[in-house]
Amino acid sequence: MVPTDVAAEIELLRAMVGKYFPIYDVKVNAQSVQIFISPDTTTLETSFDSLRKEMNEKKFIPFLSHAGGEYTITVVRKGERNPMGMWVNVILLCITFVTTILAGAILWAGYTNTSNFLTLNNFTMGALFFAIPLMTILGVHELAHYLTAKKHGVAASLPFFIPSIPPLGTFGAFISIRDPIPNRKALVDIGISGPIAGVIVAIPVFIFGMILTQQSPHYITDGNGGFATTMASMLSYFLSSFFPLSGSVIVHPLAFAGWVGLFVTAINLLPAGQLDGGHVARGLLGDNSRFLSYITVAALFMMGLLVYSGWLLFAVLIFFLGLRHPAPLDDLSKLGAKRTVLGVIGIALLLVTFVPVPIFMEPNDYSFSMHINGADNATIAPGNSTNFQIWVNNTGNTNETITVNLQAWEGLAAYVYTDHPISGNGTSQLVYALPYQGNSTVLVKAMVLNTASQTTRVLPIYASSDSSFQNHLNLTVTISG
């Protein structure tokens, strides 16, 4: 500390502290003034908070500590901070809005199976059903932090949005806390307010998205090796159960925006460093929260190596930003039941919104099943015919094309149809589309020619899908004399 009048400044600090606590010693060094007090522990928390607010107006920061049986208040001068204009927030907001609209256009084009996403309709619908809902979730999350910080007398910036490439379009948003956190209660309040507010918005966004998905399901039709999909958290899985859908359906971009909002909540609630979960953990556990931070980062590294490589990035970021959370000015304050409940809510939110593998590639499955509806054998006299009915069911996860082949014998003609009843021209090879979760009835007509001699023939039916997945059945035809 380098004041213009050291003695006068020390007396000013003594006078301010003396208004709230008895003083029995003062120690001065180059950077701070340490004042030893004999507080009434029943009023310690409220008295210190009043002192903190008074000192903040004079550009001082007090730190309360208790060690060796002595209570001390260490006072340092508040550093000067160059004010940052809102232009940075506005520029990042505009860039992120553009990148999320771009991501939304790509998502909408995929949802409607449009080959070219560079259309006005895609950008409009992408903004309406993805960019605006997602940025609203993130904005409400950060605004809750901002308002809670202001409530506790802590200076904070407006949200800074972080742009990203599709499919998300953003890495989220954050606010800058510009004052030390006053106490453990404020740590919990500030940390948990954002996730709770964000989830309150994300849940209805996800629900409305699932309603739209159910009303107009779009099935995955990619035939080029697989498709990207997301893993459901416990919360999104529970919400999805109210909107049953068959098979691999492309979720509406609005539902995906809600899913991203829930996933961002989980990321922020990780109990490490200065994430929201780190604030809550520091408030609940005090300095012991550093061990939980170490465990969390180690777990992220392990998951990054074994489960999902994206966790490595988060682990590295948390590591370099700092594993230990700074102590609040009053680290002796008690939480009380309300903040303990909020901490439990934070743990519960983390558990129900976290997913170990957020996005992964689902391989295409072209499997299908075949079975005969009725008897698989018949006795036919020359000049007559019989029909066999075969059911084909798409048991894979995408639309596919089925090719059915059959091979007749000498004196035995066979044709395959998909019409009811048998009419028109039959064929020995039938190629037709079988949609996802679809089924069809294939009719086989076996006709014994007049030239056929008495015998028993096995009529094989072969079928294959786009990926050459094969099934076959055998029909038995006995030619009567």
How far is Cα 114 from Cα 105, in angstroms, rounded to an integer?
10
406 lies in some domain? yes
Looking at the structure, do residues 224 and 326 belong to the same domain, yes or no?
A: yes
127 lies in some domain? yes
* Tens-place pLDDT, residues 248-260: 678 899 999 999 9
CA-nearest of 283, 469, 244 to 365 is 469
Residue type, 405: N
> The tokens of 87 are what?
């232009």
* Tens-place pLDDT, residues 39-48: 998 899 999 9
* Tens-place pLDDT, residues 439-479: 888 888 888 888 777 888 888 888 888 777 888 888 888 88
Give the end of a domain, one of 57, 77, 97. Answer: 77
Residue type, 358: P
Question: What b/e readout covers 451-480, taking b as 16+ CB neighbours within 10 angstroms?
Answer: ebeeeebebebebbbbeebebebebebebe
* Tens-place pLDDT, residues 200-210: 999 999 999 99
Range of the domain at 59: 6-77
> The tokens of 344 are what?
């439990």
Q: At 385, which CATH number?
A: 2.60.40.10
pLDDT of res. 1? 44
Residues in contact with 421: Cβ distance below 8 Å, sequence separation at least 6, in sequence order: none
pLDDT of res. 217? 76
Looking at the structure, do residues 332 and 187 belong to the same domain, yes or no?
A: yes
Looking at the structure, do residues 160 and 41 belong to the same domain, yes or no?
A: no
pLDDT of res. 256? 93
Looking at the structure, do residues 191 and 328 belong to the same domain, yes or no?
A: yes
Looking at the structure, do residues 221 and 320 belong to the same domain, yes or no?
A: yes
1 lies in some domain? no
* Count of structural domains within the chain: 3
Exposure of 66 in the CB half-sphere (CA atoms within 13 A): 10
Element spanning 265, H or E: helix 253-268
Looking at the structure, do residues 375 and 345 belong to the same domain, yes or no?
A: no
229 lies in some domain? yes
CA torsion, ordered 83, 89, 95, 97, to nearest 10 deg: 180
Mean pLDDT value across the chain? 87
Looking at the structure, do residues 311 and 389 belong to the same domain, yes or no?
A: no
**pTM of the full predicted structure?**
0.78
Residues in contact with 214: Cβ distance below 8 Å, sequence separation at least 6, in sequence order: 243, 244, 245
CB 255 within 8 A of CB 206: yes
* Tens-place pLDDT, residues 275-304: 999 999 999 999 899 999 999 999 999 999
Looking at the structure, do residues 54 and 135 belong to the same domain, yes or no?
A: no
160 lies in some domain? yes
Give the end of a domain, one of 302, 336, 362. Answer: 362
Residues in contact with 189: Cβ distance below 8 Å, sequence separation at least 6, in sequence order: 148, 151, 152, 339, 342
How far is Cα 319 from Cα 298, in angstroms, rounded to an integer?
10
CA-nearest of 286, 308, 427 to 357 is 308
* Tens-place pLDDT, residues 105-161: 999 988 887 778 889 999 999 999 999 999 999 999 999 999 999 999 898 888 999
pLDDT of res. 251? 86
Looking at the structure, do residues 385 and 357 belong to the same domain, yes or no?
A: no
22 lies in some domain? yes
Helix axis angle, 336-353 relative to 184-215, nearest 10°?
40
Looking at the structure, do residues 93 and 223 belong to the same domain, yes or no?
A: yes
According to DSSP, residue 183 is labeled: B
CB 461 within 8 A of CB 403: no
Give the end of a domain, one of 344, 362, 380. Answer: 362
pLDDT of res. 407? 77
82 lies in some domain? no
* Tens-place pLDDT, residues 63-111: 999 988 899 999 998 877 666 668 888 999 999 999 999 999 999 988 8
Looking at the structure, do residues 18 and 161 belong to the same domain, yes or no?
A: no
Looking at the structure, do residues 189 and 160 belong to the same domain, yes or no?
A: yes
Length of the chain as a residue count = 481
* Tens-place pLDDT, residues 376-429: 888 988 888 888 889 999 887 777 888 888 877 777 888 887 754 444 445 678
Q: At 14, which CATH number?
A: 3.30.1360.100
* Tens-place pLDDT, residues 168-189: 888 888 888 888 899 999 999 9
